[in-house]
């Protein structure tokens, strides 16, 4: 097998130790947190480890990468068997800036190209439980196709002040309402400065 760089060796060792300790491998995010590097950098290192024969692809699902070395194939790290693209995770949305302005982006993470149909798609981490009726949980990441319009019943990301939030769009009344699908929350009338940033087209859990 091709020789590893010091950092690649550290990451491979961390994956092996994590599997030994927990019985399952770390995710990309867990590796990044341990080494204090962005998920996109972790992805680059995993690509190199795969190319050098130390990791084996097992499809796109959580904890689905296997280690290969002299001891044989070991335990299942999130990875993609398909072509991947880097997708930005949007945090706070600064007023007056485009949604994908660098000031709004927390990091970029790899996703299979089949999940990202629009080149300017982005991820938004869901905060709170207001959309549980749609199967969207606190901490999930929604995949968003950027667009400034939507239809009645669409689940959308809207900008309210300097925050981006996920809600269902209700256009059946005199006013437009942003509707949480958790019945514990009440619909909110859209304000004049409320902007539609995009439509939710997918969901990533446990990234």
Sequence-separated (6 or more) residues with CB below 8 Å from residue 114: 82
> How far is the C-alpha of 57 from the C-alpha of 113, rounded, in Å?
16
130 is catalytic: yes
167 is catalytic: yes
Of 39, 80, 121, 130, the active-site residue reads: 130
Beta-bridged to residue 108, according to DSSP, are 88
Beta-bridged to residue 143, according to DSSP, are 123, 202
List the structure tokens of 202. 């997918």
Do strands 122-125 and 84-90 pair parallel, antiparallel, or not at all (unpaired)? parallel
Which 3 state secondary structure label does DSSP give 156? strand
**Quick one: DSSP state of residue 104?**
G
Of 41, 84, 167, 199, the active-site residue reads: 167
**Of 91, 83, 47, whose CA–CA distance to 65 is shortest?**
47
Give the containing element (helix H, strand E) for 96.
none
**Quick one: DSSP state of residue 132?**
G
Residues annotated as part of the active site: 130, 167
């Amino acid at each position: 097998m091709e020789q590893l760089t010091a950092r690649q060796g550290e990451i491979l060792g961390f994956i092996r130790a994590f599997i030994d300790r927990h019985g399952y491998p770390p995710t990309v995010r867990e590796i990044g947190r341990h080494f204090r590097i962005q998920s996109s950098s972790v992805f680059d290192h995993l690509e190199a480890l795969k190319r050098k024969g130390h990791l084996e692809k097992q499809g796109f699902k959580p904890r689905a990468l296997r280690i290969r070395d002299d001891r044989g194939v070991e335990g299942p790290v999130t990875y993609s068997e398909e072509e991947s693209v880097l997708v930005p995770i949007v945090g706070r949305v600064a007023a007056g800036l485009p949604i994908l302005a660098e000031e709004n982006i927390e990091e970029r993470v790899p996703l299979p190209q089949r999940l990202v149909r629009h080149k300017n798609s982005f991820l938004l981490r869901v905060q709170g439980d207001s959309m549980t009726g749609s199967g969207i949980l606190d901490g999930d990441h929604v995949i968003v196709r950027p667009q400034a319009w939507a239809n009645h019943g669409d689940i959308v990301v809207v900008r309210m002040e300097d925050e981006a939030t996920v809600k269902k769009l209700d256009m059946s009344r005199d006013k437009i309402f942003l509707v949480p699908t958790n019945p514990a929350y009440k619909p909110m009338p859209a304000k004049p400065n409320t902007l539609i940033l995009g439509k939710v087209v997918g969901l990533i859990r446990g990234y």
